[in-house]
């Protein structure tokens, strides 16, 4: 079982030693659980955006998405 908690700790993941964060692909994440794979690929994407001088935008929260839906219906 895997989840997200405020008590989570960073753990070393074998297989990524010596690899550039910005060049990680799904192939590199083969065999990992789906949430971990998604996190690694998002971190790689964020790294590339920041290194290019961009800004990483936070996705809207569930309440913000709901508010946007309600506002659009009016």
Q: Which residue has the higher pLDDT, 74 or 38?
A: 38
Give the angle 57-26-19 at the CA atoms, nearest 5°.
85
Mean pLDDT of 29-51: 93
Neighbouring C-beta atoms of residue 39, cutoff 10 Å: 14
| Residue 4, pLDDT score | 62
Per mean pLDDT, which range of 2-6, 7-11, 12-16, 58-62 is the poorest? 2-6
Residue 73, helix vs strand vs coil = helix
- The pTM (predicted TM-score) of the whole model is 0.69
Q: Is the dihedral of CA 22, 24, 25, 26 positive or negative?
A: negative
Terminal CA-CA length for the chain: 42
């Amino acid at each position: 079982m895997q989840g997200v908690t405020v008590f989570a700790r960073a753990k070393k993941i074998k297989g990524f030693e010596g690899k550039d964060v910005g060049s990680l692909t799904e192939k590199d994440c083969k065999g990992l659980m789906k949430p971990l794979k998604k996190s690694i690929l998002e971190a790689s994407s964020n790294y590339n955006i920041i290194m290019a001088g961009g800004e990483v935008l936070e996705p809207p929260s569930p309440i913000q998405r709901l508010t946007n839906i309600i506002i659009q219906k009016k």
